[in-house]
Structure 1
């Protein structure tokens, strides 16, 4: 089998394994705990007799299909109740169910009460007393007992701590939330309606469902494995490519001299075609690439693209009073001044007549306005071709929202003309910016 095919086969298998680990995540990570007859759990019935009541609770014969019991709620206690406890552990070292998120139970009930309570009781030395069973935290759910299919499903987030337990044990607020890190028992109890009479229970099965590994850790493991594989592949490719590069370098050396000569001449011609012969600044064709690159960076990476439109104030008067040769010298002088002061990443071009444009890639509107103000002061402070008092007006705009290049230059142009209307020799930014 060709080497490339072996690599592609391994990659395909890894992709399939990754897809399986993602889409079958719940099955792979699922953890269950099932409680049903035949398991080694101790059980007991209890009732309000410990509180002075006379409710009577009895276990019914076990038919291997579940736990069955009956309790007769009587009126000798204000809040008659009975309950059935499945002790999950011996002693006080309970089960950590904090990674579980769901509990299901199959329960058949008949009686006068409309609701049933279940408890997950948690032992914690901060509030529990080994000599007092009721001191374990009573994480509780109370639900309607009218399901015909006898199947109930609850999220652990539905549990709350019983108010009576919080009050009786004087629990501070920081310990009043549900807790499942040391569960010692599961209880089924009559509901809070307390209707007198016979209640029959048949608990067939209890099922706790959780995850062995947290979902975030599972995805982190997948990412880590792929990272190691990618790094290994890159290292391998570097070794292979370095060998290929050495071989190619020998062949490329023979072409470098010819290409260097051709490239130099080509660059000379390209620069000439993109440069304004009078000012030495780029022409419109020359800044086309910069605008395209800036637009691409803005679309792809969110980097700002700003333009500064520059117009020499009263340039016609300079031509009329001093002649076109002086006017050309002023244009060339201002172009040289600007090009010497701007950054290497900025492109300066003659836009036409006495108008110039400065394209500022990866530059916010505020910083572009700062650059424009600096140039405005420099022009104002200099004299060109013995012409004093030469000034310029500036319009600044940046790409915003879904705007395109036409909108960008239109906004800069509007800002420029606003600068002229306000008296010239000033910087104005686009209203939309």
Structure 2
């Protein structure tokens, strides 16, 4: 993934964080949605009293610029529950207003009359399974009775409304339909309470407001979560695309390296037929080793023992190349080859086996002699002065040919001894 893409994702993440916090703050302190009912609203308002139920109370409605007024001459006779109410009708077709998105209702009203301290509010919700257009009392009655403070607005959470038990009994409503719902309110009624003295009462409604949020906290949180999920998905997708691109580049490089290696192998094979010495160190290469052995044996390899081989490897040589560069590494290899040549006999052969690994072939040399030579070489390497004041050590693996043993087997035992020296801590000699 490019730095430009990473910076873009980081900036996007910061913006998303700011927007998330801002949206939560806006939802809490703002985003207010208000439905207001006052004398200027076009809804139909009328008075209802208990005379339809056989009572004697008389309610009259009046409206001016400041308020909706209900005058109620509350009287008692054979009807047990005298009342008057102001009815605000949103619809007579069964298509009301969805108040479920609001969370509270704010009243600005005054009550006048003998011991008139409480008021009852009905929110009638039309529900097709239990309500009928030809029955004005069939919409569900969600009621709340409370005492508003005189001369002050009063806010009531809508969650405090409850379905009226008397309406449930009267309409014989099934239990599964008795839940409080405000998703299709067709009528609001403001009435005198259940217990109030007879006499002249007045309800003066200046305004009634439903307050809520354009987006609920749950909706805002869902939007934020979805935005973050989309962001994370995009980030993951871009990471996968970047990984795929890196993998393709890596494969292309590996293919290129394989091609180069094949070319080098071919070139090395061609050059090996012409050159028997390692051009960097002056030691024999593997082709030179073959000729060296042929000169030693003058034909077939003898069956008797008496040859030892040493594998010597410079410890942690890769660090020299990494820390000081390949030029210094080449100087170290040249000096190491010169040091070994000065310690071995003219009849011995020094072969650069590969990288920093050298093979020393010692004809007519017993195991104890080969071990002493290996220890001498190890000490010489540790005490020598190397380029750039590098502290250098070497590990050695020693093996002596058994009677009738193939030379390849001898090489393998010495190589195994070298790896044993490495595994046991380096700067040591091990026998194979």
Q: Report the TM-score, using the length of structure 1 for normalisation.
A: 0.54
Alignment correspondent of 2:138:
135
| Per-residue Cα deviation, 1:314-349 (whole angstroms, up to 9, x for no partner) | xxxxxxxxxxxxxxxxxxxxxxxxxxxxxxxxxxxx
Q: Does 1:124 align with 2:131?
A: no
Name the CA distance, whole Å, in 2 between partners of 1:238 and 1:148.
67
Alignment correspondent of 2:197:
195
Q: Does 1:81 align with 2:83?
A: yes
Q: Contact 1:41–1:86 at 8 Å: present in 2 too?
A: yes
Name the CA distance, whole Å, in 2 between partners of 1:60 and 1:229.
58
Name the CA distance, whole Å, in 2 between partners of 1:203 and 1:247.
77
Q: Contact 2:27–2:215 at 8 Å: present in 1 too?
A: no
Alignment correspondent of 2:94:
92
Instruction: Give how far 1:65 is off.
Output: 1.7
Alignment correspondent of 1:34:
36
Other structure's SS at 1:133 match: coil
Q: Contact 1:114–1:193 at 8 Å: present in 2 too?
A: no
Alignment correspondent of 2:282:
none
Instruction: Give how far 1:206 is off.
Output: 1.3
| Per-residue Cα deviation, 1:231-267 (whole angstroms, up to 9, x for no partner) | 223333444466567778969x99x9959x99x9899
Alignment correspondent of 1:221:
223
| Per-residue Cα deviation, 1:368-405 (whole angstroms, up to 9, x for no partner) | xxxxxxxxxxxxxxxxxxxxxxxxxxxxxxxxxxxxxx
Q: Report the TM-score, using the length of structure 2 for normalisation.
A: 0.54
Alignment correspondent of 2:389:
none
Q: Contact 1:115–1:192 at 8 Å: present in 2 too?
A: no
Other structure's SS at 2:137 match: helix
Other structure's SS at 1:235 match: helix
Other structure's SS at 1:202 match: strand
| Per-residue Cα deviation, 1:91-138 (whole angstroms, up to 9, x for no partner) | 211122223322111111112233110000112233223222122211
- In angstroms, what is the RMSD of aligned CA positions? 3.4
Name the CA distance, whole Å, in 2 between partners of 1:104 and 1:45.
21
Q: Contact 2:94–2:126 at 8 Å: present in 1 too?
A: yes
Instruction: Give how far 1:170 is off.
Output: 1.6
Q: Contact 1:81–1:194 at 8 Å: present in 2 too?
A: no
Q: 1:168 aligns with which of 162, 167, 170?
A: 170
Q: Contact 2:109–2:151 at 8 Å: present in 1 too?
A: no
Instruction: Give how far 1:204 is off.
Output: 1.2
Instruction: Give how far 1:11 is off.
Output: 3.3
Q: Contact 1:79–1:194 at 8 Å: present in 2 too?
A: no
Alignment correspondent of 1:306:
none
Other structure's SS at 2:82 match: coil
Alignment correspondent of 1:178:
180
Q: Contact 1:116–1:142 at 8 Å: present in 2 too?
A: yes
Q: Which has the larger radius of gyration?
A: 2
Q: Contact 2:61–2:86 at 8 Å: present in 1 too?
A: no
What 5-or-longer segments of structure 1 have no aligned partner?
Answer: 271-433
Alignment correspondent of 1:233:
235
| Per-residue Cα deviation, 1:179-199 (whole angstroms, up to 9, x for no partner) | 212210111000111310111
Name the CA distance, whole Å, in 1 between partners of 2:25 and 2:421.
56
Name the CA distance, whole Å, in 2 between partners of 1:220 and 1:178.
25
Q: Contact 1:141–1:158 at 8 Å: present in 2 too?
A: yes
Name the CA distance, whole Å, in 1 between partners of 2:141 and 2:7.
61
Residues 1:235 and 1:70: Cα distance change in structure 2 (over 3 Å): same
Instruction: Give how far 1:176 is off.
Output: 2.3
| Per-residue Cα deviation, 1:116-171 (whole angstroms, up to 9, x for no partner) | 100001122332232221222111000124x0343222222211122221222122
Name the CA distance, whole Å, in 2 between partners of 1:110 and 1:183.
28
Instruction: Give how far 1:48 is off.
Output: 0.8
How does 1:9-408 map onto structure 2 within 5 Å? 9-26=11-28, 30-62=32-64, 64-76=65-77, 77-112=79-114, 113-145=116-148, 147-240=149-242, 258=318, 268=423
Name the CA distance, whole Å, in 2 between partners of 1:133 and 1:265.
100
Instruction: Give how far 1:74 is off.
Output: 1.1
